[in-house]
Structures are given as C-alpha cells and as structure tokens.
A and B are shown apart, each in its own frame.
Chain A
Amino acid sequence: MASRKESMSTPTAPMASTSSGATLDSPVKQIQIEGLVVLKMIKHYQEEGQGTEVVQGVLLGLVVEDRLEITNCFPFPQHTEDDADFDEVQYQMEMMRSLRHVNIDHLHVGWYQSTYYGSFVSRALLDSQFSYQHAIEESVVLIYDPIKTAQGSLSLKAYRLTPKLMEICKEKDFSAEGLKKAMIGFEHMFEEVPIVIKNSHLINVLMWELEEKSTVADKHELLNLSSSNHLEKSLQLLMDRVDDMSQDIVKYNTYSRNLSKQQQQKHQYTQRRQQENAQRQTRGEPPLPEEDISKMFKPPQPPPRMDTLLIAGQINNYCQNVKEFTSQNLGKLFLAEALQGHNS
C-alpha cells in the first residue's frame, strides 16, 4: 500500500476539468501532501471513526507560490456532551504552540474530514470551510473516504470554495435571485485542487528496502468483484437526498404559488383602487390616499436556496461516485470474464 501512495493519486478527470476554469484565479493550484499526513489521517479514522461518524483534524503547512504544502496535521479530539465547555480553539492554539516548540510547521492551512460514502457536501462543511477560507485564504479541506480506501484505492480529495460562493456566503444572500445573479449552480460551489503526495528521499529509500524484505502478501482488495453492497448503500443515500430535494422543491413551489397569488391580489387591489379613484374624481371628491401596498401584502418568506444547492451538489457527488464505481467494476467484471474464458 505504501508504494502505491507514493505515486500520484490524481483526482478524477471530469471533476478537475469542470473546476479547472475556476482554479485559475485561485491562489492555490496544487497541493502537495507529505505521506506522514496521509498516514496520520488514516490512523485517526481507524482509531476513532466508525460507521457514519466522521473524524476531523487540522492541517498544517506552508504556501509556496501557488502550491500548498501540507506537512503535518493533528486531530480534533473526540468530545462528548459531558465536557461541553471544552474549548477547541484553545486546544488548537495549544497544540500549534507545542508543535512550534519542536520545530514543526505550525501554520494553519486547512482541515480534514473523513466521509461516509462520499456524503460530505453539507451545510456544516460549507460553513466551516467558509470561515477557514475567510480567515486564511489558502486553506483547503481534505476529504478522506475510508470506504473507498478500504476497497483498494486511496481516496483523498482537496476542496476549496469557489470565489463566487465566497461572495455569496459573505453576503449571506441565499435567495433564488441572489444565486441567480451570482450565476452559481451546484457545479460551481466547490473547486477541487489536484493533490500530489510527496515523500522525502530518505523515506523512499526506506520503502524500497522494506518492500524487498516485506513478507506480507499483497492484498487484492482492488480486485474485489462484489458490488451490490456498495451500490445499495450509495443508492440508499442518493434516494434520501432525492427525497430531500423533492421536499425542497415542493416548498419552493408553494412559495412561488403563494407569491403569485399575492401578486394577483395586489394587482386586483390596485385596480380597484384606481377605479374607485376615477369614480371619485368624476364626482369631484378628493382621491383616496395612497396606502402602502407593501404593508398590506407582506411578501411570503422566500425559502433559502442554499440547502437545495447543497443537496444538488451532494446528489452530483453521489452520482459521480456511483459512476466511477460502476465503471471500475465493469472493467473488473470483464477482466474476470476474460480470465475465466482463458482458464476454461
């Protein structure tokens, strides 16, 4: 496994291509991760995360030109409801100070999070990434997918919010109009930054040496043919999202219906008023005073669209996952078929 990590683990092509336009004006174009960081994250998850629970931690590193080097990380401690007064910021500061004392990079450059079947596009992630990026422009979020990793290919992705989304988040304008004006869709919410994993030469040498000595048989998770479990889970999650989406749409629908109904009423009202005024004028009476229409007809509260956007993003994410997975699996199936044909 170690040897595999050495090589570049590039993110999937389509995602990169969609976001490539946006990356141009971003201060970070590439991310270089130390092997140590990856191992630490994996270890963190294996020790503390299970099931749908996620683990999080802080990334430390440096920015070199347009490249972000992540050289170290440390986990957020798991804390329960009992110690509600636990101060995370305090802990982070403390941790970073300690790290500085031992001469480790101590600059905060982002955070990482594990994910469950790729379900990470959420409001919480958006909010925290926004605050990170707001404070430290270069910061990224690393998403580590332990399930995919367990299937044999390390899945690690780095995301940043697009500048457009940053704008919107800053203004906190999540109405339909606001989003439309910003020309933002679910595809334009996050940009993915390519990742490179780099080890020092010494480590590389050690690896080579270890590989020769290692007696551990190669694990072939990669060749696992079973697919239904993973697909079922994904579909289940996807379905939940679709349900959410439907609900949101229904909500929006009711809103627009209310709105149009009200507009109709408003229209009728003004017309009636005009007629009345015209009549009064013919009778020589003074026209009725103009009342504040907006007071009489309070426009219904437009539902915030950000959640819908996030759901759409999440659905997209799931679809990508499923697609990726199935295409890989198909390949494997053909491989197996060919093998079988060959043998028989």
Chain B
Amino acid sequence: MSRFFATGSDSESEESSSADEITPKAPGTTFTKQSLLLSDDEEDTKRVVRSAKDKRFEELTNLIKTIRNAMKIRDMSKCLEEFEQLCRAFLKSKTIVDKEGVPPFYIRILADLEDYLNQLWEDKEGKKKMNKNNAKALSTLRQKIRKYNRDYETEIASYKENPMASADEEEEKDEVESGSSSDSDDEPADAKSFLKKKSATEAPPPNASKFLKGAADEESSSSDGDNEDWDSDTSESDSGSEDETGRSTSMAVNFLKKTSSEGDRHTSEKKKEERKKRHKRKERIEEEAEEEAQEEGEGEWEKVKGGVPLVKEKLKMFAKGTEINTTVVVKKLNEILQARGKKGTDRAAQIELLHALANISNENNLGEGILVKIKFNIIASLYDYNPNLAAFMKADMWKKCLDCIDELLDILFNNDKIFIGENIAEDSENLASDSQEYRVRGCILTLVERMDEEFTKIMQNTDPHSQEYVDNLKDEGRVCGIIDRLMAYLEMETKGSTEEVCRVYLRRIMHTYYKFDYKAHRRALGLQGETKSEQDAEESEGEDSAFIMDRLCKYIYAKDRTDRIRTCAILCHIYHHALHSRWYQARDLMLMSHLQDNIQHADPPVQILYNRTMVQLGICAFRQGMIKDAHNALLDIQSSGRAKELLGQGLLMRNMQERNAEQEKIEKRRQVPFHMHINLELLECVYLVSAMLLEIPYMAAHEFDARRRMISKQFHHQLRVGERQPLLGPPESMREHVVAASKAMKMGDWRTCHSFIINEKMNSKVWDLFPETQCVREMLVRKIQEESLRTYLFTYSSVYDSISMETLKEMFELELPTVHSIISKMIINEELMASLDQPTQTVVMHRTEPTSLQNMALQLAEKLGGLVENNERVFDLKQGVYGGYFNRDQKGGYQQKQGGYNRDQRGSYQQKQGGYNRDGQRGGYQQKQGGYNRDGGGYQRQGGYNRDGGGYQQRQGGYNRDGNRGGGGGYQGQNRGGYQGGGGYQGGGGYQGGGGYQGGGGYQGGGGGGYRGGYKGGYQNQDRRDY
C-alpha cells in the first residue's frame, strides 16, 4: 500500500488505528465466522454484497478513467474499445446495479461521452484530420452510445439538469463520485466512509500528505483515493494473503494485534462515542457499528486464542499456573477441533497448534494415550488441509503426514497396551490411567489408506517425465514400509479384525501386483550370485513376491466378506501370475473366478483393473506362444480403439457433449499412475502380430469364400490403411512394420516377414520390453515360419501337383516332423485337399479346389437363389388373399409340401443336408463315392447345391475331368456325368440336350429335381415363361 510508504513516519498509534479499522470492516469472513455466537446472517450477506459491489465498481471506475484519458487525446478507437469493455463490465455487475441503482458516475460518463462525441461529430475540420481508424471508431461509437443511452435517458436527463460539480477538477470529481456512490449505497458503506473521513480528520498528517501528493499527481492521487475508498478491500486481501503466505507473518500481525488489543478496544469505543455525537441522526448505522465493534472485539478475542500457536505462547493456551493434565489437554484438543472443517479456519495454524499440544503433552508426560489421540488428529488435519477432494496434497505435506504415521506406528508398536478402534465411543476412551489399557478412538488403517490414496493422487498429478516424479516415486518404498508395518501390527492378535486385515492386505497387494520380481526371476534362472548392488542383495533376502501374493490373496479369498476386495485380490493375483509368465495359473484363476460374466456391474476402478489384468493375460499368452489366446484376450480392449481409456492411462479427446467438466474430473481421478502403466504400443503390437498370425492363413484359406468373416477388424483396418498409402516407403512405425510383414506373409515369404517383425527398430520399440526377450523372439520366428508355411500351402497349392516335404522344410527352415504335422493337421481339418505320400515324402495335391470362375458361378447361383426366393414372395403376395403372406409363419413357411424352398426346415444352403457348406452329411468334399479321387463324385456333393435332389449340381458325377463315371462325360452333353450331370443344371440332357436351357423342362431339371420340386403349387403351371 502506497499509503504506508507515504506515511512511513507516522505514529504507531495511527498504524494501529488503521489496523483497527481494518479488523472490523475486513469482511474477513475469517473472524466473523469464528465468532459463531455473534455472526449475524443478515449482516453477513450485506457484507458480501458490499465487497462484490466494491470490486465491480472499482472495475467500472478504472474503465471510466481510461475512457476519459482516451477522450483527452482523442483516441477514438481506444475509446470505443474501452466503452465496449465498460458495457460488458456493467452488464456483469447487473445484479448489484439492480440492487443499488445505476451508479451516478456511470451515468456521468455516458452523458459526457455522448456530449463529447457530438461535439467531435460537429467539428468537421477535426474529423477530416482524423485518421481512418479513428473516424470509423468515432462513427461506430457514436451510434453505439446513442443506442445505449436510450436506456438511461431519464438518468442522463436528470444528470444534465444538475451536473454535480462537473466543473470541478477531475480528481475531486472522483472523490465526490465515490462519496456520492456510497451515498446511494447501503448505510454500512456510509458508515465506513464516515469512519474514513473521521479518521482523516483525526489524523491529518497522512491526509495532508495524500492531498499533497494528489496535487502533485492527479493520476496517482486518484488511485490513491481509490485505495482510500476501497480500503477495506485491500486490507482484506492483505489479511487473506497473510493467512496464506505463512504462519509467521500472520503471527506477527497477531502478535501486534494482541499487544494492542486492549487499547484498541478502548480507542474504538472512544471513536464510537465520538461518532455517536456526530451522527446522531443515523441511529441504525450506529447500532450496526456497535455490533461491528462488538464483533470486532470478539474477533480479536478469538484471534488471540486461536492464532497463537507458538510454543512460547503456550501460556496463552493454558492459563499460567494451570495444572496441565489429561483432562485439560483433552478439553483444549476438543476446542481446537471445534474449528475444524469450518470455513475460514486457518488450517495451517491448526496443524501447528496440534503439534504444540503434542509437545506440551509430551513435556508433561501425559502418557501415550493422549499422544496417540493427538497424533491421530494431527494426521486428520493434515488430510484436511486441502478442502477439495479432487486436489492433491503437496508432496511435503504428505511427507509430514508420512512421518506422523511412522511415529504413530512407533508408539503403537512400543506400547501394546494401547487399544485403538473406530468403534470406541468418545466418552469411553481411556487416555489417562496407566493401569488400564489405553483406549483411543481412531482408525490407523483408514489413515494409512488415505495416505496411500494421497500418494496415488500425487503421482497422478505429477508430470511423469520429470525428476519430481522420480523423487516422489522413491517414497513408494516408505509407503510400502508403512503398509508392511501396519500389516504386522494388525496381524497381531486382538489388534485388527479380519476385515481390517483384508483391507491392509489388499493395500499390500495393490503395491505388489504390478511389479516384476526381478530377483525371483533371476533366482529362477539360477543367477542369484550376480546381484549387482547391495540393494539387490538386500532385496533378494525377502521372500518372493509370488509367495507373498499367494499368501495374502488366499487369506483374502478365505476371509473376506466384501466382494470388492476379493475381486480386486483375484485380479491382482492373476495379473501377477501373468506378469511372471505363469500362464496356466493365471488362466485357470481367471476362468474359475467367472469374472468375465459380471465385471460390467463392478465400479469403474475395478473394471479398469480387470482390463489391465486381461491385457496382461493376453501379453502373457503371447509370450508363451498361445497366439489364439492372446488374441482373444486382447480383442475386447483393442477392438474398441479406446485402449488408452479402458486401461485408465489417459483420457481420449472427445467433444464436450459427451463429457462435461465434472465427468472429466472424475475420469481423471481414475487414472492409473504412470509407473503402473502398460505400454500401449507393446499391447497393440502384440495384438496386431497375433492377429497377423491368425488372419493371414485364414484369409489365404478363404480367399474365395463368399461370406468369410474377419477375425480381427482392427487388423484389417490397418491393412487397408497400408494399402491406401500412395507412396510405400520403408516402414517406420510399429504398425507399418506389421502391415509390411503381413504382406510378405501373404506371399508365404517368411524371411521378409521375419525381418519386418524382428529388427532393430521393433526390438527397441517393443520386444525389448519383455523380460524374456530372447524366448519371445524365438517363439515368434517359429510361429512366423509355421504360419507362412500354411499360408503358402493355401495360396499356392493349386499350382502344385505335388510338393516334396523336403523342399518345404528347406523353404521354411522347419524340421521335417513339424512340416509333416502341420500338413497333416491341415488335411485333417479339410483345409488342404491333399494326401501324404509316405515313401517319397511328398504331398500330393488333389485338384478339388474350385477355380475362381467356378467360385464365381457358385456365388452367382447363390444370388440367383436369393432372387428367386424374393420373387416367390412377390408372387405369393399376389396369389393369396392379403392374409396369405402374413399367415405364412403359421403355415410353416410357404409351400413346403415337398420340403421345397423354405429355409427354416430343410434344404436351405446353410443346411447340413445337401447344403452349401462343406461339412455336409452327404455332400462336402468327401462324399460317399470316392472322396477326393477324381473319377466319380468330385467336387459337387450329392444333393447338390440347392434343395432337394438334383438342382444345380448334379446328383452323380460332378466336375470330374476324366468323366469315367459319367460315361463320356464332360462337355459333350451326354446323359450323365460331366459338368451337367443327370438332373443337373439343364435337365436330363446336357448342354444342348433335350431339356435345353430354354426348353420345356428347362431349368427345372429332368427328374423332378431342381426348383420344380419345391413348388408345384401352381407356380410353373400358371406362368412358366416368366420363370
């Protein structure tokens, strides 16, 4: 405050009086709120209003000042800008204006501005001289103000009639303005201004200096005036900042206050008297002022009591000579705690106070009980320090808290006579007597849990790439230590209930499950001797984390009553298993838990944990070479494309429609701290590679399948993205590598595929992140070889008549038995139409694969089937009464007399019998007659493509080349065999045979097969030609 500098030489009393002034007015809710008894609601609100008003009006006056300055220098654009701001500011303070009426200074500026503008407008000469911007601004401003002023016409008119001291100096005007403004205000403000005036008269030196300065410099003095006017504000903010900046300053002030408090009260009383004399007519104000004064007294008193936390002031805490015993301390403690949670309590001071109390009790040897009690409260108030649940504790605060808990635990361990529990009633506590057990209300477990949560919050809110994060993370050891100690404590008999033990176990588990146990790993590998540092040696003395996990989790499984803890424990257990490559245990546990069924009912954090576990499980499966399992486990997470969100590792950018600020906050709170993250790139890579290993052979096998499904949509998406690339450079990112590898694999080129999947880049990006890098890579190579072999066989089998396994072995660098087993498996699964020739070690291909043209024809036939079916319906509709179609379902499908068309019962394509699919009972690739061998049977199964008998594909014989069975066969169109066999496509005769394509029997086939079988019901009788 400039005033303080200006009046540096002023007497102490002046200072104190000003301080005195501050205290009552300072709507410093701090004090008023503390004096609960006296705080008057009505007054409270008034105070708030006043301060808000002050703030707004200050804003307005500031703006007005700049406008006036701009007017002086004829800067129209500035004027316009400021005017717009003014309007906005005025609009903001609308509520206040509504209550108080339009402030006169505002009206004044409006009127002045309009006059000024009009004047400028008239001045043609001046206007010409203006630059373009200004002229433009002038005209807009003029229009604006005209429009604007219409709303305030009456006020402006009244102002113009009686322009208050408009001829006065600017500065004075300001003064008056504020005076007048407060005139129209509520009385309290008035009182204040009076008070101020009075203080001005009482203490001429500062005022004089002020005026002097005012004369010297208009600007600063007016601002000074402002300062004067809004004195209360600044001082308030000051005191506020004092609160914040630290205890020491506030203490200093408090100290000051305290010393002068007695005198102050007198002086204020005196002032009050004077005031009374002077302004008797304003009795109400007086009353209020009195109240204020009283309140001020109260406030001071409270301040003295509460604000003296220094140890050396402890005499203040307890009157001198009071015998300090447990009861007194407890009373004091309660007193302090009364203020807890109230608005405006100085929380820092409170903590300090409690510390002091602890010291006192320590000094006076009041026993452990009371100490524990106080400690509990200290920790609680440390937690209270941040009122907002979303905000996180400062790291140093948290460390303090950690220390406290440590100490508390020390006490508890040293003295097992202390009995704590949250269920102990306040009055049944026993803090004093040494003879009995101490009984203290409080729950250490809750405190530790809270501490742990705060730790998580701190980690969430620290930049993970900063040194700070590392520093914070170092404390994790301490947290674990505390949890361990607590565990030990609670495990002692009678100390903790099973429920509590479960809870603390879960805490322990939560701190263990995501950490890879390197020493156990090393031990497993038999390399224990190679511990590098002392720390490692130290660590390796402890038991395996696996063992710990097992013990803790099993306890929870057995004892826990709440579902949530058990669920979490199971998930963590699985995670831990998976992390350490114990795939079967992990999988069995997951399957036994049946969590998949009901996890969607769990709360989000548990779901996140579940997702993490599934992902870990998938990665584990991948490491073990269970590609399919890996894919299945990761499918859910990856297919949504929101892996990041699902794992709680970051928020996705979404528009605000889907998520408002509140939700975002909640989601932020759920995030997993960075050190527990699962590498998303690794995850995606594992998923894509698994998908590649599954999808590429599948695609090759089903190249011509009309309705093949995708195994992995995401993988296909990546492939498409890769294809869309206009220029194909060497792969850069992980995805590009996988896409490139997939392309190579499609051609059966395993070497290229291998070089794309495993290389420097991919190693550093992905594979090196696995603990057993080498194994994983070996597994991958092997898988790539195997799957490439399969792909190769699928893709190129049609080119070979036979292929030697030896060659395959060399091509894919696999052992002969492996090749043999892969091919055998393919043959058994009917994926490959071939047989093994043992003596020569060759695979003999059977030419049964339909060519692409044949495939196409099959597809076409299928489509035509659909078409005919659709046509049927139209016809049905026409034929029947309108009920016909709707009754169809009751009748059980249309025209099913002969099992014809209807899909539901027999004869649809998808049906076993004579169906399209390969595993038909009768049909398929191996039908009764001779299976694969070329003569006889052949590709088309018995019963043919459509429906009952006959149909598109003939009953006997098929696409056989040799046509032995068909007799003559082939294209010549003899009766049987050949492409168009008996009862086949074109009826009895072959292609140009009797039936003929467009002939009488035509399409319907010779032997009552074909379509006609289906619906004799009048269809073809009526309109054969249409068919």
Residues in B with CB closer than 8 Å to A256 are: 874, 877-878
B860 CB–A CB distance under 8 Å: yes
Contact check, A232 vs B853: say whether CB atoms are below 8 A apart: yes
Contact check, B877 vs A253: say whether CB atoms are below 8 A apart: yes
Given contacts A253-B877, A256-B874, contact A246 B853 (CB under 8 A): no
Contact check, A238 vs B867: say whether CB atoms are below 8 A apart: no
Q: A230-257 toward B: CB 8 Å interface, digit per residue (1/0)?
A: 0110011011001101100110110011
Residues in A with CB closer than 8 Å to B867 are: 242, 245-246, 249
Contact check, B874 vs A238: say whether CB atoms are below 8 A apart: no
Output the least CB separation between B352 and chain A (Å).
79
B866 CB–A CB distance under 8 Å: yes
A232 CA / B851 CA spacing, docked (Å)? 11
A83 CA / B874 CA spacing, docked (Å)? 47
Contact check, B863 vs A242: say whether CB atoms are below 8 A apart: yes
Contact check, B851 vs A238: say whether CB atoms are below 8 A apart: no
> In this complex, what residue of B is CB-closest to A236?
B856
B857 CB–A CB distance under 8 Å: yes
Given contacts A239-B859, A257-B885, contact A330 B971 (CB under 8 A): yes
Contact check, A228 vs B851: say whether CB atoms are below 8 A apart: yes
Highest count of chain B CB atoms <10 Å: which of A249, A250, A252, A330: A249
Contact check, A264 vs B852: say whether CB atoms are below 8 A apart: no
Residues in A with CB closer than 8 Å to B860 are: 235, 238-239, 242
B443 CB–A CB distance under 8 Å: no
Q: A243 touches which one: B863, B885, B971 (CB < 8 A)? A: B863
Contact check, B856 vs A235: say whether CB atoms are below 8 A apart: yes
Q: B856 touches which one: A232, A245, A246 (CB < 8 A)? A: A232
A228 CA / B853 CA spacing, docked (Å)? 6
Residues in A with CB closer than 8 Å to B859 are: 239
Q: B971-993 toward A: CB 8 Å interface, digit per residue (1/0)?
A: 10000000000000000000000
> In this complex, what residue of A is CB-closest to B864?
A242
A271 CB–B CB distance under 8 Å: no
A252 CA / B874 CA spacing, docked (Å)? 8
Q: B853 touches which one: A231, A249, A333 (CB < 8 A)? A: A231
B136 CB–A CB distance under 8 Å: no
Q: B882 touches which one: A228, A231, A238, A260 (CB < 8 A)? A: A260
Contact check, A249 vs B885: say whether CB atoms are below 8 A apart: no
Contact check, B971 vs A253: say whether CB atoms are below 8 A apart: no
A264 CA / B884 CA spacing, docked (Å)? 12
Contact check, B877 vs A232: say whether CB atoms are below 8 A apart: no
B871 CB–A CB distance under 8 Å: yes
Q: B871 touches which one: A228, A232, A249, A333 (CB < 8 A)? A: A249
Output the least CB separation between A63 and chain B (Å).
36
A155 CA / B786 CA spacing, docked (Å)? 52
Q: B835-874 toward A: CB 8 Å interface, digit per residue (1/0)?
A: 0000000000000000111001101100110110011011
Residues in B with CB closer than 8 Å to A250 are: 870
Residues in B with CB closer than 8 Å to A253 are: 870, 873-874, 877
> In this complex, what residue of B is CB-closest to A245?
B867
Contact check, B864 vs A249: say whether CB atoms are below 8 A apart: no
Mark out the residues of chain A between 244 and 293 whose CB falls within 8 Å of any chain B CB in the assembled complex: 245-246, 249-250, 252-253, 256-257, 260-261, 263-264
A324 CA / B874 CA spacing, docked (Å)? 32
Contact check, A260 vs B885: say whether CB atoms are below 8 A apart: yes
Output the least CB separation between B872 and chain A (Å).
10
Residues in B with CB closer than 8 Å to A231 are: 853, 856
Q: A228 touches which one: B852, B873, B874 (CB < 8 A)? A: B852
Given contacts A228-B852, A242-B863, A242-B867, contact A235 B857 (CB under 8 A): yes
A238 CA / B852 CA spacing, docked (Å)? 15
Output the least CB separation between A226 and chain B (Å).
11
A235 CA / B874 CA spacing, docked (Å)? 26
Residues in B with CB closer than 8 Å to A249 are: 867, 870-871, 874
A260 CA / B877 CA spacing, docked (Å)? 9
Interface size for A (C-beta < 8 A) is: 23
A257 CA / B853 CA spacing, docked (Å)? 38
Output the least CB separation between B342 and chain A (Å).
71
Q: A239 touches which one: B856, B870, B873, B882 (CB < 8 A)? A: B856
Mark out the residues of chain B between 868 and 896 whose CB falls within 8 Å of any chain A CB in the assembled complex: 870-871, 873-874, 877-878, 882, 885
Residues in B with CB closer than 8 Å to A263 are: 882
Q: B852 touches which one: A232, A252, A257 (CB < 8 A)? A: A232
A245 CA / B866 CA spacing, docked (Å)? 10
Mark out the residues of chain A between 105 and 151 whose CB falls within 8 Å of any chain B CB in the assembled complex: none
> In this complex, what residue of A is CB-closest to B857?
A235
> In this complex, what residue of A is CB-closest to B991?
A330
Residues in A with CB closer than 8 Å to B852 are: 228, 232
A257 CA / B876 CA spacing, docked (Å)? 11
Residues in A with CB closer than 8 Å to B851 are: 228
Contact check, B882 vs A264: say whether CB atoms are below 8 A apart: yes
A249 CA / B865 CA spacing, docked (Å)? 13
Residues in A with CB closer than 8 Å to B857 are: 235
Output the least CB separation between B919 and chain A (Å).
26
A13 CA / B851 CA spacing, docked (Å)? 32
A154 CA / B226 CA spacing, docked (Å)? 101
Residues in A with CB closer than 8 Å to B874 are: 249, 252-253, 256
Output the least CB separation between B320 and chain A (Å).
99
Contact check, A239 vs B853: say whether CB atoms are below 8 A apart: no
Output the least CB separation between A180 and chain B (Å).
12
Output the least CB separation between A150 and chain B (Å).
20
A330 CA / B971 CA spacing, docked (Å)? 9
A247 CA / B521 CA spacing, docked (Å)? 63
Residues in B with CB closer than 8 Å to A243 are: 863
Residues in A with CB closer than 8 Å to B882 are: 260-261, 263-264
> In this complex, what residue of B is CB-closest to A248?
B870
A101 CA / B718 CA spacing, docked (Å)? 62
Output the least CB separation between B853 and chain A (Å).
5
> In this complex, what residue of A is CB-closest to B997?
A323
Output the least CB separation between B772 and chain A (Å).
50
Output the least CB separation between A163 and chain B (Å).
22
Output the least CB separation between A87 and chain B (Å).
36
A257 CA / B877 CA spacing, docked (Å)? 7
A333 CA / B979 CA spacing, docked (Å)? 15
A253 CA / B871 CA spacing, docked (Å)? 8
Highest count of chain A CB atoms <10 Å: which of B853, B857, B859, B971: B853
Output the least CB separation between A230 and chain B (Å).
10
A232 CA / B852 CA spacing, docked (Å)? 8
Highest count of chain A CB atoms <10 Å: which of B856, B860, B866, B971: B856
A253 CA / B888 CA spacing, docked (Å)? 15
Q: A315-341 toward B: CB 8 Å interface, digit per residue (1/0)?
A: 000000000000000100100000000
> In this complex, what residue of A is CB-closest to B854?
A228
A298 CA / B870 CA spacing, docked (Å)? 26
Residues in A with CB closer than 8 Å to B866 are: 246
Mark out the residues of chain B between 146 and 195 whose CB falls within 8 Å of any chain A CB in the assembled complex: none
Output the least CB separation between B380 and chain A (Å).
71
Residues in B with CB closer than 8 Å to A333 are: 971
Q: A206-245 toward B: CB 8 Å interface, digit per residue (1/0)?
A: 0000000000000000000000100110011011001101
Output the least CB separation between B836 and chain A (Å).
30
Chain B residues with CB under 8 Å of chain A are: 851-853, 856-857, 859-860, 863-864, 866-867, 870-871, 873-874, 877-878, 882, 885, 971
Q: A232-B856, A249-B871, A249-B874 are in contact. List 11 more A-B contacts (CB 8 A).
A: A238-B860, A239-B863, A242-B863, A246-B867, A253-B870, A253-B874, A256-B874, A257-B877, A257-B885, A260-B885, A264-B882
The 9 closest A-B pairs by CB, nearest first: A260-B882, A249-B870, A235-B856, A242-B863, A228-B853, A246-B867, A256-B877, A239-B860, A253-B873
26 contacts between A and B (CB under 8 A): A228-B852, A236-B856, A239-B859, A239-B860, A242-B860, A242-B863, A242-B864, A242-B867, A243-B863, A246-B866, A246-B867, A246-B870, A249-B871, A249-B874, A250-B870, A252-B874, A253-B870, A253-B874, A256-B874, A256-B877, A256-B878, A257-B877, A260-B877, A261-B882, A263-B882, A264-B882
Chain A residues with CB under 8 Å of chain B are: 228, 231-232, 235-236, 238-239, 242-243, 245-246, 249-250, 252-253, 256-257, 260-261, 263-264, 330, 333
